[in-house]
Amino acid sequence: MKSAIFDLDGVIVDTAKFHFLAWKKISKKYDYDLDEIQNEKLKGISRSDSLNHILRWSNKKISKKEFIATLNEKNIIYLNFIKKLTHEDALPGVLKTLNLFKKKGIKIALGSASRNSKIVLNKLSLIKYFDVIIDGNDVVNSKPDPEVFIKGAEALGVFCEDCIVFEDSEAGVKAARDAKMNVIGICDSKNGLKNTLFNMQGFLTIKPNEIIKYFT
């Protein structure tokens, strides 16, 4: 039996829009207007790496003290956005899929760059479904480094080769593949992810048995 590792943003819940709005506000501090195309490059990576991208795009240099303060400011903006999250904000089909995996005895882990994953999962009333949570608080290297997924497999007590990852970002797919894991991509038809078992637009766009067959 294979084990499942889920990314958070864009897979379980759509908080990517809140990250974008927070980073857009931060970018304006440095006379830069972050757009949605560039924001795609921030998906799946750490807060520090995201800020480094923005500073490079804006051609700005800041002190270590200001860097840390800016990371905290971004997080406060983001947390204010997610205060109103409820169980109804879980993406369609996610709860049904988690219930099915539990019924089938499939181990479930979270592998996310977010440092707020437990807060989000609690607000969604989904934290009870996860046997293991590995996030930005537990790793040194962010995606596309495979550390988060390797640690997820170790915590589950399984081999990396026996894990399938649900991901929506190129960085996440590369991280999973470098960890010797297969990937099911969550993406729209216009922006298909490469090196996946298959891609789907969401958990309601494919029959559950079509997913389960990869885990047995």
Q: Which residues are catalytic?
A: 7, 9
Radius of gyration of the chain from Cα atoms? 17
Identity at 100, one-letter amino acid code: L
CA 64 → CA 49, 67, 129, distances in Å? 14, 5, 38
State the pairing for strand pair 182-186/132-134.
Answer: unpaired
Q: H-helix or E-strand containing 183?
A: strand 182-186
Please say whether the beta carbons of 90 and 13 come within 8 A: yes
Separation between Cα atoms, residue 45 and residue 187, nearest integer Å: 17
